[in-house]
Structure 1
Amino acid sequence: MQLHLNAQSKFPPVDKSPLDFSYYPVNYPILRIQEKAKEPLMARVTYSRPQKNGRKVFGELVEYGSIWRLGANEATEIELYRDAKIGSARVKKGRYTLYAIPTTDKWTIILNKDTDVWGAFLYDPKKDVVRMEVPVQHNTDALECFSMYFDKTNGNVSLFIGWDTEMVRVPISFF
C-alpha cells in the first residue's frame, strides 16, 4: 500500500526562533563521542534563539521591568546534573525554568520549579528557587541572535546570556 501525504500540510514550518542547546562542559556531546570529555556533564540549557531583525530589543521587544522567558517560544530551561550554587543560593540537581527581569543596568535572574511552559504567561513567583541580580554589560557590537553559553575562567563557571548590545554573566559553581 502506498501512502500519499501532502507534506506541506503535515509538517510544521521551520521556526523563526530555532531551538538550541548550550552545555557545560562546552561541547560535551561532541567531546563524549570523541572520548575526549575530561569532566562529566554538569549543566545544559535548552532555549530558542530569536533574532534582532532590525528591531530595538531591550526596552521595546523585551520590556524593561517585566518577566521574560529568556528567548522565544517555550521558556528557557536549565538542567543541572549536580547540585550547584548559583549566585549565593544552593540549588539541587534537576531541571528548572530560567527567567529574567531586565532593566537598563541589571537583570534579575530567576530559576523556577515550573517546567515545560510556553513563554512567561503562567509564571508563578511562588515557585522560584533562585532570584539574583546581575549587572548588565553594554557592548558596542550588536548580537543578532539571542545567545547563551557556558565558560570556565580561573576555575569558575559562568553562564553568559546576550542579545543585541546587552550581556549578563550568571556565576555557577558545582559540588
Structure 2
Amino acid sequence: MKKYLSALIGIFLSAISLAQIPLTVAPSGGNKKAAVSERVGLTDVVITYDRPGVKGREGKVWGELVPVGFTDPGFGNSKSAPWRAGANENTTFKFTNDVKIQGQSLPAGKYGFFIAYSPEECTLIFSKNSTSWGHYFYNAAEDALRVKVKPQALEKSVEWLKYEFMNETENSATVALQWEKLSIPFTIEVDYVKDQLESFRRELRTENGFIWQSWDQAAAWCLQRSVNLEEALLWADTASSAIFGGDKAFIAWSTKAQIQEKLGRNEEAAATMKMAMAFASMNEIHQYGRRLLQQKKTKEALEIFKTNYSKNPNQFTTLMGLVRGYSAVADYKNALKYANLALPLAPNEQNKTSVTAMIVKLKEGKDVN
C-alpha cells in the first residue's frame, strides 16, 4: 500500500513539474487592470483594459513604445498589427445598443479595440474579435469599423493610461484615451428616443405591464417630448382602462386628454378631462388649474379653481387657486378677497410670507402668477 501511495505521489509531482498551474497574480509588468463604464441614454458603454505606466519614459511613449501605424509584433500570426490601445490582453468596448462612433454606425456588441497611431491622425479600429490576446492575432478581415481622429496634446502628463468619459449629453459622450502627454478623443452617439421606445415596448410585455402606472409612464414620456403620439395614445387608453385598474386614476385620464389635445382632437380631449375630474383629488385639480395657467388658458383655469373650491371649500389650497385664477383674468379685487381669507390658513411661515407678498402685489394691481 505504501509503495502504491508513493507511486501516486510521484506521478502527481511529476505532473506539477510538467505543467504550470495558473494562480491569480497581478498583471505582468505592473500594469493595472481596469474597467470604466457609463450609461449614455439607455446604452451602457463598458471599457475593459490594462493600464501601462509611463515609468520614466517621457518623450519615448508615442512613436516608440507605441509604434506608428501597423507593425509586425514578432509573435502570433499577425504580421501587420495596430497598437492594442492598452497593455496585455485585448482592450474591449461593449455597447448594449447600436451606437455611432464619430458619426459612423456600429451595432450593439462587444469589440476588440485597437489604434493605429500617427502624430497627425489616428485610426481607431473596432474588431469583431474581442477575445484574442493583445494584438498578436489581429486580423483586418475581422474589423467592424475604422474611424480616423486627431490626437490632442495634454499640458500635464498622465502616468497611467486611462479612458475617460466627458462632454456627456443625453445622446452622446466623448471618450478619450489619455496617456503621457497625449489624448485621443472620439465621440459615441446613441439614439436615445429610439432606444427608449423600444425599451418601453419590451417592458410593457413583461410583468411591468401588469399595472396601469407603467402604461401611463410610457405615454407621459412621449407626451413630454411630443414623439410617438399615436402609439402613446394607445398606451394611455390601456392605462385608463379597467384592465389594470387605471379607470379611476385621474393621472391616467389626464395623460390621455393631453395626448388627444396634442394630436388636435380637442373635443375628445375635453370629454376625457371631464371624465378625469370625477376621480381627481383636491391637489390634482389644483395642479390641473396651474397647468392651464401655464398654457395661458386663464378663463378655463379660473373655472377649474372654482370647481375645486366648491368641492373643497375654505381650504388653503383651493383659496389660493382662486387667488391665482382671478388674478390671471385681472380681477384683482376678488383675488385680494381670497388672498386675505387664505392668509390665516397658511400651513407654515413660508406660505404665509408668500401670501403676504401676493397681497401687496394685488393691492398694486399686479398679477401674482
Q: TM-score, normalised by structure 2?
A: 0.40
Q: Which residue of 2 aligns with 1:47?
A: 49
Q: CA deviation at 1:48?
A: 0.3
Gaps of 5+ in 1: 1-8, 27-38
Q: CA deviation at 1:10?
A: 6.6
Gaps of 5+ in 2: 1-20, 71-81, 192-369
Q: Considering only CA atoms, is the larger Rg found in Structure 1 or Structure 2?
A: 2
**Any idea what SS the aligned residue of 2:131 has?**
coil
Q: Which residue of the other structure, out of 23, 28, 36, is the alignment partner of 1:22? A: 36
The answer as to 2:189 corresponding to 1:173 is yes
Q: Which residue of 2 aligns with 1:120?
A: 135
Task: Please identify which structure carries the higher helix content.
Answer: 2
Q: Which residue of 1 aligns with 2:97?
A: 82
Q: Which residue of 1 aligns with 2:62?
A: 58
Q: CA deviation at 1:151?
A: 2.1
Q: Deviations over 1:32-69 (max 9, x none)?
A: xxxxxxx6452100000010101121111111123100
**Any idea what SS the aligned residue of 1:42 has?**
strand
Q: Deviations over 1:4-25 (max 9, x none)?
A: xxxxx87343221121011113
Would the aligned equivalents of 1:25 and 1:150 in 2 still touch at CA under 8 Å? no
**Any idea what SS the aligned residue of 1:43 has?**
strand
CA distance in 2: counterparts of 1:95 and 1:113, whole angstroms: 7
Q: Which residue of 1 aligns with 2:83?
A: 68
CA distance in 1: counterparts of 2:121 and 2:36, whole angstroms: 23
Q: Deviations over 1:98-148 (max 9, x none)?
A: 100011122110101011111111111111111111111011211101110
% same residue: 26
Total equivalences in the alignment: 155
The answer as to 2:120 corresponding to 1:111 is no
Q: TM-score, normalised by structure 1?
A: 0.82
Would the aligned equivalents of 1:86 and 1:170 in 2 still touch at CA under 8 Å? yes
CA distance in 2: counterparts of 1:167 and 1:119, whole angstroms: 21
Q: Which residue of 2 aligns with 1:150?
A: 165
CA distance in 2: counterparts of 1:151 and 1:24, whole angstroms: 10
Would the aligned equivalents of 1:114 and 1:127 in 2 still touch at CA under 8 Å? yes
Q: Which residue of 1 aligns with 2:175?
A: 159
